[in-house]
Chains A and B, each alone.
Chain A
Amino acid sequence: MSSLRSWILRWLTTTNHKDIGILYMVTAMYFFLVAGTLALLFRVQLAMPESNFLPGKAFNQAVTVHGLVMLLWFLSPIQFGLANYFVPLQIGARDLAFPRLNALSYWLYLFSGLLLIVSFFVPGGAVDGGWTLYAPLNTSAYSPSKGFDLAVLAIVMLSAAITLGTVNFMVTIAKMRAPGMTWDKVPMFTWSILFTILMMLLAFPALAAAGILLLLDRLLGTTFFLSVEGGALLWDHLFWFFGHPEVYILLFPSLGMLADIISSFTGRPLYAKRFVLVAFMAATVLSYIVWVHHMFITGTSLLVRKIFSVTTALISIPFEMATLALILTLYKGRIRYTSPMLFAMAAIPLFIIGGATGVFNAAIILDRAFRGTYWVVAHFHYIMAGTALFAVIAGLYYWFPKMTGRMLSEKLAKIQLILAVIGINLLYFPQFLLIDMPRRIYRYDYAPEWITLNQLSTIGAFIFAASFVVALIALLHGLLRGRPSGDNPWGAWGLEWLTKSPPPPHNFDGQPVVTKDGRILIVPEKTLEEQGVDKVITGEAKVSVTGVMTPNGTAGHQSPSHAHGHGHAHAHHGSMAPMMLALGMFVAFVAMPLGNTALMALGALLAFASIAKWVLDEYRGRFSEPEPRYREEFPFVGIDKFKVGLWTFIAGEGFLFGSLVGAYIFIRTRSPAWTPGIELHDVAIGLFNTVVLFTAALAMGLAYYNARVGNVGLQRASLAFALALGLLFMFTKAYEWSKFAAEGYGLTSTMEAQLYYTLTGAHAAHVLVGVIASLYALVRSLRRPYGPQDARTLLYIGIYWGIVDIVWTFIFPMFYLI
């Protein structure tokens, strides 16, 4: 095989967290380039009040795609690229918990972004409704472009990628920490990722639900967002229930990076770390109950607006605490002014400006005036393009030597910093003064007083862009010419600095251990076996280490002779399946709005073939890896990682259905009349299917039981029974649907019918997955019966059937009774 081919193949099939982290970062930078270019284009348009450079629809497309890509395909992904690379290193793990799933997340992310890019080239052009995609403008009645469909498909696909990612990080952080790394010793960046995924777990299902409903509207003719009962407000609620947590999702990882970087370069632990953690936790919970501050001028009642005004003011408190802690850390420490530190320090005042203006927005009375003006644009750009992005740059520069083994040029970085600070302030400060200029207009010939401020802003944009050109040069220069960095060039604190730069595939030559008094050690595994891990943690055992760091901030010492390997000569597990699955979905999704059934079938085929390959690998145990032998896993001691992952995933599913049920309640309470399900549907059929589902859960329970007691015959019979029941449910459902449609209640008829098809359809899709899982278990059992040692597979399939049943216990009365 030629070296180029094997190089390409490696990147296409890799499942290693560090490779995937790099892929995320490179891809995110590409999307940054796209979105940044769009921004320069519309800034040029705005430099003149009557410009024809990028008028009308093109302007709207540029603004919309800019917003979506920057938030969803650049900022979060580049943070998660760093998280992919550094969370396992920071906690002393060898990889993420589910490496292939991690690869799948990445490829879904990449192809979902490409969907959005492709949308520029389809009839009607790219999405142009503003990044918030407000209803009813987002329906095909007002925005018929095929590119709009692709954007919504992209969002749904990305939501899937992110949900899988949350499961992966949850299990990794909760269950794979190095022995001795109790929660209070977990680094801030890893903590911030934990809070971020908790928010993602709830927020993205709401976005996915909104996206699914919108797709039904656009592709199949339902009227959720076009009707009076649903319409603009339904979208607002679903979107902002996602949208507000999303802004913290973008902020948290950056704050985590800031904390780690600042404590490294002041040589002090973060001031009041526990307090900051409590503040983060409070912000995580509060982030769900502030979304109506984006709806202050919709028809919401004054009381509700007052409540949300208060919660919004409240949520700024935790951030003020965090900022204070950062500043106090700076104040108490001895600062070393390296380039990562300078970027980190620059992020703080930007945060103060952006945050303070947010608090102004929280006041209903002020917001009435600010809403929809450039003031709001300035507010959130100070935080996102300021704080969040500056912290990401700081993070990239901080960890660059670790990833590449080379140093960046401090000089280039400082030039970049100066340009960036001047650029961003010139770009956004004038926008605070454009407090009466509406957003999303492309001409303002009626208001000559806005010209100068807009021109300053455009000049600022180009200076800001220039800073990124310098950044690119700095990165390339560092990569090719940078001087060797050694393992810990900054004398920084943390496990990632105790391994080689770049780290070997298995991350550490030995087992990382954190002692009670806070030292970090790399201990040969043999020593751990002999001495006992507990004694090493308490410090009772005298061990020879290959690396050590002591908590007073002094640089770690690592003996130069790395005893290589230690038996985890990781077979480099590569798999093509994740990439192929995402590619298949991409092809099918591109074809969908264009109505090209052949291409759709091809994409679906590819996707199913990849899933089959994945399952086959699973069946053969190709990827089964033992869990790490020594680990800190409170509060999940002794609990299988699949179980923790499954329950995390189920929580996400719960929020997906919760959002759909929420939409049902919303529409129903706003409908003047409603025909109860008991008059529309046959209760007898509904009851029949209810019993079928309950019995399927029973059958799975029996299969699990019989696997544990070793009764092979009954194990197989139960599995076959569960499978048959799943199929029976699907057939009954199909019969029911066709009967209902024949009675004149098609998908596009009444609101009752639309909701019925949507919710029972979403549920049936889950039944289908249950059927496939049961089929797999049956085949496996026929070949190789499950025994007590692997019965847990059946338990997990049973847990899945359980959630299918649980959802049904609510859907059944919703549609057949009330």
Chain B
Amino acid sequence: MARPQLKWAAHPPIAYFLAWAFLVFTALLEIYFVAAGLTYNTLVFVTSVGIVQSSVIALIFQHLREEPQSVKAFPLGSLVMLIILVSAAVTSVLACTPYLG
């Protein structure tokens, strides 16, 4: 049973603390940037922050960085489908003639 021991070494709790600090820090930064009006396009900005934060959560707290490609494919595949869906929806919404005028 030597393998599990190697795995702990590969994942000391320090990674968790670093990830946590990064998440809190980016959340603070996000608020600061939006509140101070420093963003160029707020929607794009917060979405990007969300994606970066999610990736850190997925890689560290959900341990995806240790997983083989086949497991990584689940969230990645879903993300791709979600992006297709949201962009198809958004374009068809924006292109539609609203009753609002």
Contacts and interface: CB of A to CB of B under 8 A. Distances in A.
Nearest to A635: B70
B71 A643 contact: yes
Contacts of A701: 13, 16, 60-61
Given A636-B71, A702-B13, A805-B61, A241 B85 contact: yes
A669 interface: yes
A118 interface: no
Given A701-B61, A813-B50, A670 B4 contact: no
Interface string A652-680: 00110010011001100110100000100
Contact of B16 (A233, A698, A803): A698
Nearest to B89: A662
A299 B96 contact: yes
Interface in B42-101: 42-43, 46-47, 49-50, 53-54, 57-58, 60-63, 67-71, 74-75, 77-79, 81-82, 84-86, 88-100
A657 to B, nearest CB: 9
B38 interface: no
Interface string A801-816: 1110110011011101
Contact of A651 (B31, B61, B74, B98): B74
B85 A810 contact: no
A818 B86 contact: no
Contacts of A433: none
A805 B27 CA distance: 12
Interface stretch (A5-13, A41-49, A688-696): A688-696
A697 B61 contact: yes
B65 to A, nearest CB: 12
B92 A818 contact: no
Given A805-B61, A813-B49, A651 B20 contact: no
B31 to A, nearest CB: 6
B74 A669 contact: no
A27 B35 CA distance: 57
Interface string B13-25: 1001101100110
B31 A818 contact: no
A247 interface: no
A755 interface: no
Contacts of A669: 90, 93-94
Contact of A299 (B23, B90, B97): B97
B100 A228 contact: yes
Contacts of B93: 233, 237, 665-666, 669-670
A809 B94 contact: no
A202 B81 contact: yes
Nearest to B59: A802
Given A651-B74, A818-B42, A690 B86 contact: no
Contact of B98 (A299, A678, A795): A299
A265 interface: no
B57 A805 contact: yes
A691 B26 CA distance: 11
B51 to A, nearest CB: 8
A237 B85 CA distance: 11
Nearest to A811: B50
A122 interface: no
Contacts of B81: 202, 288, 655
B101 to A, nearest CB: 9
Nearest to A298: B96
Nearest to A802: B62
Nearest to B79: A654
B20 A650 contact: no
A812 B27 contact: yes
B57 A697 contact: yes
A654 B82 contact: yes
A694 B20 contact: yes
A732 interface: no
Contact of B84 (A237, A289, A708, A814): A289
A688 B48 CA distance: 21
A456 interface: no
A725 to B, nearest CB: 12
A226 interface: no
A660 B16 CA distance: 30
Given A299-B98, A817-B42, A818-B42, A304 B91 contact: yes
Contacts of B54: 806, 809-810
A799 interface: yes
B88 A289 contact: yes
B85 A300 contact: no
A636 B68 CA distance: 8
A647 interface: yes
Contacts of B95: 300-301, 303-304
Contact of B4 (A661, A788, A806): A788
11 contacts: A301-B95, A635-B68, A654-B82, A665-B86, A697-B61, A798-B62, A799-B61, A803-B62, A809-B53, A810-B47, A818-B43
Interface of B: 4, 7-8, 11-13, 16-17, 19-20, 23-24, 27-28, 30-31, 34-35, 42-43, 46-47, 49-50, 53-54, 57-58, 60-63, 67-71, 74-75, 77-79, 81-82, 84-86, 88-100
3 tightest Cβ-Cβ pairs between the two chains A and B: A813-B46, A635-B70, A301-B95
